[in-house]
Chain A
């Protein structure tokens, strides 16, 4: 059950749009894409969560992996648009401050 996501690449940045439910069933497919993104050592990554309705700890782990991978290679990452249940989860885990949500 792949999560609907889309990657948009320009010369300056990589944009990842995630929609629907990012959970234990859908996160593995996104994780493969995350590995590809991190491997390119992007200078700037934008993650758009405005279309994300539902997330669980597996989905959070995938985003943390992306965050650490991009930052670890010296890139900048912006996570934006979290709302409703996903935002509640990030706040509960106190990740909203790290991610600047």
Chain B
């Protein structure tokens, strides 16, 4: 839980938070265009918070939409950042910004991890063709593209891709052991 007195300290979430629904899978199907991206990102952000048990940034400030932008806990940051890039990739590369298909999302939060499977029926993506970031980064070599897959892969503990149909992205992020609630089985 976020500690108001110590804003950079996160302690274990309470066990009751997980009773009854852990390991349940959330399924969402959205049209394969960027128009529906915010809906999917909100669902993933909320599911990540079920695992991290992060609190809203400022409960007293109603202008902050906790579903849309309150991505502060490192676990939430990793999960949402990675998912946003994968959704972008599907809408742009698999469906080529034309839509016409759906993106099937299965989110499985558990006590210490989240697994997200994302399926699409668009054009397969050549993940091996993604260029690495420049070794030496300076003003001249700052990349203006090709960063999305690198962000997703680096943020996650596991990321796999299997060309389809359907194409399947599987994303996994684990909560550090020190942040997992004690006493749950």
Contacts and interface: CB of A to CB of B under 8 A. Distances in A.
A binds B: yes
Interface residues of B, number: 31
Contacts of B133: 93-94
Prevailing SS type, chain A contact patch: helix
Interface string A71-94: 100000000000011001100111
A68 B145 CA distance: 13
A21 B154 contact: no
Given A84-B72, A93-B133, A93-B151, A56 B34 contact: no
A53 B139 CA distance: 25
A82 to B, nearest CB: 13
B81 A61 contact: no
Interface residues of A, number: 28
B142 A64 contact: yes
Given A57-B147, A61-B145, 6 more contacts: A21-B69, A24-B34, A25-B38, A57-B88, A64-B143, A94-B133
Interface of A: 1, 20-21, 23-25, 53-54, 56-58, 60-61, 64-65, 67-68, 71, 84-85, 88-89, 92-95, 97-98
